[in-house]
């Protein structure tokens, strides 16, 4: 399967990549649904909501502060670097990620469609301003905007819509690609998982790289079992 997938990638004029939490997990970042998905006996699904933030912004920010500290200590892995190499080699190569940790940026990827937002950006709940903030730890929890309003993490919470412009670009990229590469995602979170049918309807060959079978496996033209940090470097030729 590896040689066939490599050939498809080498011959493709347009490639779209979708990455999920499994790619970040290989850098030591806990996933929502894995064994590390609990924090102080709270599930992520109970904290990453507008309702949780309205109820107890301090608690939510303590959790995000903990996550930011974990991420700050992590390093991009071989999977992140393989994707960055592919982007440099293929002119029309779009990276879509469900991850909010910024490890793709640190590996050298660019033009990333972050459909679930970015943990290193803050957004004011009063005036709507957004700004980057990489300080770890943040000097004050919860942080405030210059206008005095309460700031929230610049991520998409459960129950919120994806950024419309980013999502439209993601659908367009998936629908117009020759190869759609899915790496490290459980393919159960929607609407991100719907990008696979979009790619298929546009005629793309779908390659899945994941340690376990997922709902995407049946739709994939090739499904390669393995960690993204092991599989992706084999799919991307040096250059």
Residues 220 and 233: their CA atoms lie apart, in Å, by 19
Q: Which of 99, 96, 144 is nearest to 123 (CA)?
A: 144
Which residues of the chain does CATH 3.40.50.1220 include?
2-29+77-116+161-235
Residue 3 has pLDDT above 60, yes or no: yes
Residue 186 has pLDDT above 90, yes or no: no
What's the confidence (pLDDT) of residue 239? Answer: 52
| 2-11 vs 228-235: helix crossing angle, rounded to 10 | 50
What's the confidence (pLDDT) of residue 83? Answer: 98
Higher pLDDT, 42 or 210: 210
Average pLDDT over residues 158-163: 94
Catalytic residue among 80, 81, 116, 198: 116
**Which pLDDT tens digit goes with each residue over 94-123?**
999 999 999 999 999 999 999 999 999 999
Catalytic (active site) residue 198: no
What token pair was written down for 163?
Answer: 């950024």
At a CB cut-off of 8 Å and minimum separation 6, what does 205 contact? 8, 178, 179, 180, 221, 222
Contact 123, 130 (CB under 8 A): yes
Domain boundaries 30-73+122-155, CATH class? alpha beta
What's the confidence (pLDDT) of residue 31? Answer: 74
* Superfamily for domain range 2-29+77-116+161-235: TPP-binding domain (3.40.50.1220)
Contact 180, 12 (CB under 8 A): no
Answer left, alpha or beta for residue 116, where phi above 0 means left and psi between -120 and 50 means alpha: alpha
Contact 193, 215 (CB under 8 A): yes
Task: Find the range with the poorest average confidence among 2-16, 39-53, 102-116, 140-154.
Answer: 39-53
Task: Find the range with the poorest average confidence among 26-30, 86-90, 125-129.
Answer: 26-30
Which residues of the chain does CATH 3.30.1600.10 include?
30-73+122-155
Residues 191 and 182: their CA atoms lie apart, in Å, by 14
Tell me the DSSP string of 141-166.
SS-B-TTSPBEEEEEPPTTPPPPHHH
């Amino acid at each position: 399967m590896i040689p066939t997938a490599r050939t498809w990638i080498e011959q493709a004029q347009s490639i779209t990549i979708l990455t999920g939490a499994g790619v970040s997990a290989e850098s030591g970042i806990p996933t929502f649904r894995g064994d590390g998905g609990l924090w102080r006996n709270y599930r992520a699904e109970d904290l990453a909501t507008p309702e949780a933030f309205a109820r107890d912004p301090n608690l939510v920010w303590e959790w995000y502060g903990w996550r930011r500290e974990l991420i700050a200590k992590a390093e991009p892995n071989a999977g992140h670097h393989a994707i960055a190499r592919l982007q440099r080699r293929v002119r029309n190569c779009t990276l879509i990620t469900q991850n909010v940790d910024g490890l793709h940026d640190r590996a050298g990827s660019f033009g990333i469609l972050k459909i679930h937002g970015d943990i290193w950006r803050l957004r004011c709940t009063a005036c709507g301003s957004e700004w980057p903030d990489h300080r770890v730890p943040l000097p004050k929890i919860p942080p405030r905007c210059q206008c005095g309003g309460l700031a929230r993490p610049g991520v998409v919470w459960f129950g919120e819509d994806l950024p419309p412009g980013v999502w439209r670009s993601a659908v367009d990229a998936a629908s117009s690609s020759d190869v759609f590469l899915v790496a490290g995602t459980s393919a159960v979170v929607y609407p991100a998982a719907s990008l696979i049918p979009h790619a298929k309807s546009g005629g793309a060959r779908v390659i899945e790289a994941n340690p376990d079978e997922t709902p995407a496996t049946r739709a994939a033209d090739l499904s390669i079992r393995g960690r993204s940090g092991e599989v992706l470097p084999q799919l991307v030729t040096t250059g």
